[in-house]
Amino acid sequence: MADIAELTRLIEPEAKAEGLALVRVAMIGGKSDPTLQVMAERPDTRQLTLQDCERLSRRLSEMLDAADPIEETYRLEVSSPGIDRPLTRAQDFADWAGHEARLNLAEKINGRKQLAGTLKGIDGEEVLIDVPGLGETRVLRAALHSAKLLLTDRLIAATAPLSSEGAEIEIAEDIEDTEGQD
């Protein structure tokens, strides 16, 4: 099994060298389809262009081939965290305060393994979330199994692209231009 802490240690400087912030490193897909998933973003825009993905993927492929930190065969997936992004860093909980989130807990708190509500931020090592019916609830980050934003109209508006540069919008325009033509 791959050591995620070691992989993160190897990958983070490569992402930084490309001007990107590392959001998450994870092994997904189990034994049938092991995939090293690397999520990154531009710190200033919280976006990632296709060109950013390509550059980081090439850079990581070369480094990982040389370092060979994963024994088994695997696929490399480099992507943006997306709109309903995972919340992995302390900064994420502060940056996305006011948005809806779902926290999956390692162990039950108040009889629940999952809390959903409005993210209130972070206080030291505690994540604050306003859960309907429970009110403001504090959860140690160490007690989280995973956390992610929930897709809402407010989140979509907050993450609207600052620029369409790098987006594949030509395809949609080509389709519209050819409608009704034979």
pLDDT band, residue 166 (cuts 50/70/90): low
pLDDT band, residue 177 (cuts 50/70/90): very low
* pLDDT of amino acid 164: 53
Supply the angle between the helices 50-67 and 4-17 in degrees, to the nearest 10. Answer: 130
4-79 and 90-158 share one fold: no
pTM of the model: 0.78
Q: Contact at 8 Å (CB) between 77 and 62? A: no
Domain ranges of the chain: 4-79, 90-158
pLDDT (average), residues 117-139: 96
Specify the CATH architecture of the domain 90-158.
Roll (2.30)
- Among 58, 61, 71, 81, which Cα is nearest to 31's? 71
pLDDT (average), residues 20-25: 96
Strand partners, 75: 35
Q: 24-33, 49-58, 145-154, 169-178: which has the minimum mean pLDDT?
A: 169-178
Domain 4-79: which topology?
Answer: GMP Synthetase; Chain A, domain 3 (3.30.300)
pLDDT (average), residues 141-168: 81
Q: pLDDT: is 171 or 89 the higher one?
A: 89
Q: pLDDT: is 2 or 75 the higher one?
A: 75
CA-CA-CA-CA torsion for 104, 148, 32, 15, nearest 10 degrees?
Answer: -130
* pLDDT of amino acid 2: 82
Q: pLDDT: is 163 or 147 the higher one?
A: 147
